Amino acid sequence: MTWLVWRQHRTDALFALGALAVFVLVAALTGVHMAGTYHAALHSCAATGSCDSVGDHLFSGDGAIIDLINLTVIVPVLIGVFWGAPLLAREVEQGTHKLIWTQTVTRRRWLAGNVVAILAAATFIGVALTVTVTWWSRTFDLIGHNRFQPGHFDVQGIVPVAYALFGATLGLAAGALLRRTLAALAATVGVMVALRVIVVNYVRPHYVTAVTKLVSLTAASSGVDGSSWPLHTHIVDSKGINVTDNGNLVAAMPNACRRLIGPGRVGVESCLDRYGYRMQIMYQPANRFWTFQVIESGIFVALAVVLVGAAFVLVQRDA
């Protein structure tokens, strides 16, 4: 059974391995160059004390490779589309699965062989990509970029492996359910994109209760690490009531502060400070990055397990 699966999909596998090898080579060469450029600039700026802005324009000429790294976020979708969805749908659509079943190969064994193959391939691709991208991104992470943002969080750490497994099993289940390759492709893309958007925007920010911090309106800095993930910022009055989200800040101001509104805001902010108004910042600390990685990976791996189970049930019920 293993040999049959390899014979059927060896062209796709060899193409993927070739593309992966090229990507790893490009990332290795550019990663070493960018790290060298950064450390040279750091050494240079140390003499002038201007290292705070060392990363502002350092990589302005590396847009193409940065875009390529960011595009690895679509690899799980491609795995689902080109490997997962056709794996069962094409067999069922063409009727070749029944021929295999008559050659002493049971449905369960046939499906198990396909599942093992695609999970192994997805895991290998996911691990290779995330190791490469996480290593390549170390220079940007040193500069203090927010690793929670999708362009960083979704392509580093361990979540790319979970995404790859989910994409593969989503395509597999879609093929078993719809039995038409094009329909399975469309369903895989639609569900994958929709779920990722929902998780990024509505689920991920709430994995762990956010930290809340009150800061003076006239403070030079919020005191929040630049690598942390700011979720929401607003002004609250002395009772802790939000006075900005409803657009009613001016009406909520004490009369003494309202009279100071004009070209300069410093007087207004100092006045509000005296009346107990503060800037309330809700954020996820940078040290929660790996906690969030584990939580999100667990979600997508659990979904992958459910999808594999669904595929087995659907194939067993196939007439």
pLDDT in tens, 184-238: 999 999 999 999 999 999 999 999 999 999 999 888 788 787 788 989 888 998 8
Q: How far, in whole angstroms, is CA 229 from its chain's centroid?
A: 14
Model pLDDT, residue 65: 83
- What average pLDDT score do residues 171-179 get? 90
Residues 71 and 165 in one domain: yes
pLDDT, residue 7, reads 61
* Residues in CB range of 101: below 8 A, 6 or more apart: 107, 110
Residue 161 belongs to a domain: yes
Could you tell me if 17 and 153 lie in one domain? Answer: yes
Question: What region, left, alpha or beta, does residue 108 occupy, with left being phi > 0 and alpha being psi -120 to 50 degrees?
Answer: alpha
Checking 197-204 for CB contacts under 8 A at 24+ apart, the result is 199/296, 199/299, 200/150, 200/154, 203/299, 204/148, 204/153, 204/292, 204/296
pLDDT 10s digits, 282-309:
999 989 999 999 999 999 999 999 999 9
- Mean pLDDT score, 171-185: 90
Residue 140 and residue 245 in one domain? no
Hey, is 234 helix, strand or coil? strand
CB 276 within 8 A of CB 238: yes
Q: How confident is the model at residue 241 (pLDDT cuts 50, 70, 90)?
A: confident
What pTM did the predictor assign? 0.84
Q: Which residue has the tokens 């999100």?
A: 296
Q: pLDDT tens, 52-101?
A: 555 555 666 667 888 888 899 999 999 999 888 888 777 777 666 555 65
Tell me which residue range forms the domain holding 235.
Answer: 211-284
Q: For the chain, give the mean pLDDT.
A: 83
Answer yes or no: do 95 and 16 share one domain: yes
**Is residue 129's pLDDT more than 80?**
yes
Do 306 and 266 share a structural domain?
no
Locate tokens 């800095």: which residue? 221
| Residue 220 and residue 198 in one domain | no
Same domain, 82 and 70: yes
| DSSP-assigned letter for residue 49 | T
Res. 158 pLDDT band, cuts 50 70 90: very high
22 pLDDT above the threshold of 70: yes
Residue 2 lies in a domain: no
Distance CA 317, CA 319 (A): 6
What does the block give as tokens for 262?
A: 């004009």
37-50 pLDDT, tens digit per residue, is 776 766 666 666 55
Q: What's the pLDDT score for residue 251?
A: 81
CB 151 within 8 A of CB 113: no
> Does the residue 245 lie in any domain?
yes
